[in-house]
Amino acid sequence: MNIPKGYTFAVAEAAFKKSGRFDLGAIVSESPAVAAGVFTTNKFQAAPVLQCREMLADGRRMSGFLVNSGQANACTGDEGRANCRETLNLAAKALGVPADELLPASTGVIGAQFDMAKWEAAMGPLAESRATAGPEDVAKAIMTTDTVHKLAEASFEFKGGEVRILGMCKGAGMISPNMATMLSFIMCDADISGEAWQAMLADCVNLSINRVTVDGDMSTNDSVMALANGASGVAIESEDDYILLRKHLLTVLEELAYKIVMDAEGGTKVAFIQVSGAKTDEDAELIARAVGNSPLVKTALFGSDPNWGRIICAAGYSGANFKANDLVLKIGGVLVFRNGTPEPGDMDDLLGPIMQERDIVIHLDVGTGPGSTMLLASDLTREYVSINADYRS
C-alpha cells in the first residue's frame, strides 16, 4: 500500500460497545497539515461534528484525526460536547500533539454518553500501537455494521515528484447524503493551500460520496475530512497541478463511494442510476433519488425481478419537470420503454441475466435538456431489516 509520507496510525480496544475488537483509532500527521471537511446537514449534528466545524472555521492546520466506533456522541447535549473535548485532551497527551489540532469523529448508537473511564484506559494502548499499527487497523476500528474495511489509494507523478493519496471510510447503513454520508478520512502528502484543498474536497465529495443511497437516511455524524501535509515536497501551484490532484482525489472518493454501496447492510446489488436529458441537474437528481430510494425498486433489485414499471412509477412521482412521453428507459443497455409504451419482446427473458448481475445500469433519458446525474443505490434485503431490528441488541 502506498501510504502518503508523514502519517502514522494508532488503534486500541476500548470496548465502547463490544469487547475483543479495535474501536478507537487515530491518524497523526508528523507535521501540521492543511485540513478540509464536509459534514452532514442533519439538524441534529453530533458533538464531534460541531467540534470539527468550530476547529476548521479559522483555517488553522491540523495534526490528525481521532475516531471511535460504538457510540455516536449525538443528541448528548452539553455533556456530550464536554466529553468530546476531553477525549481530545486525553488523546493529545497520549499521541504528543496539541488537543486543538485533533479532529474528532464518532459513529454508533445515538443518545448514549461516553464512558470516560474507558477512554482513559485506552490511551496507553493507543499510544503504544503507533509503532505497529497501519491504515488497515484504523479502517477496521471505525466499522460498525460494515462487513469489510474500506480503503482506496492513488499515487501519481508531478514534475516535482510523487504524490500519494490514501482514503478510508466506514458506512453500510443510514446512507443518503446531502453533504457527506458517512465517516471518511483522506490523507495526502501534497503541499496545497487550505482554500484550494477545501474547494477541491467539497467538489469531489459532491461528485462521488454525495451520489449514493442505501436507505434514504442521513446520519447525525456524517463527515468527510482530509489532510494534506506537504511531506512529499510537491507543491500544487499551477492549474494543471490542481487538475491532476483533483482527478486522483475524485478517483479515490469514487472508489470509496462504490465500496459503501457494495457493502450496504445486507446488500447484494449496486444500481448505477443514470439520468440524462432533464431540464436541470436538480430535476435529474429528483428522478435518480426517487428511483434509488424506492422500496419497490430496491426489493425488485434484490429479487432479480425485471419489474421495470416500478422504475417508471418512481420517476413519475419524483416531482421532476418532464413529459411522460419523453422518457426512455434502458436497463443494462436493453431498451425497455419509450413513447409512453413498453418495447416489444419478452422483457423477462431479455432482462433476466442482467438482473442477476451485481452491478446493474439503469438509464433514464427524459428529454433534450442539459440536466444529468448519476446515483449509486443498493437493493433492500431481508438481512437489512434483520440488522437494523437487532442493532442495539
| Contact present, 220 and 40 (Cβ < 8 Å) | yes
| Contact present, 94 and 126 (Cβ < 8 Å) | yes
CA distance 345 to 349: 9
DSSP secondary structure of 172-184: SSS---SS--SEE
| Contact present, 224 and 180 (Cβ < 8 Å) | yes
CA distance 375 to 377: 6
Residue 260, helix vs strand vs coil: helix
CB atoms closer than 10 angstroms to residue 346: 8
Positions marked catalytic: 181
Residue 191, helix vs strand vs coil: strand
Tell me how far CA of residue 144 lies from CA of 141, 169, 338, in angstroms.
Answer: 9, 11, 43
CA distance 181 to 376: 13
Please report the sign of the dihedral spanned by the C-alpha atoms of residue 232, residue 180, residue 169, residue 47.
positive
CA distance 70 to 110: 10
Tell me how far CA of residue 29 lies from CA of 34, 111, 180, 231, 342, in angstroms.
Answer: 10, 31, 23, 9, 57
- Give the closest residue to 152 by CA, choosing from 224, 263, 253, 223: 253
The distance in angstroms from the start CA to the end CA of the chain is: 36
Question: Which residues pair with residue 102 across a beta bridge?
Answer: 64
| Contact present, 52 and 37 (Cβ < 8 Å) | yes
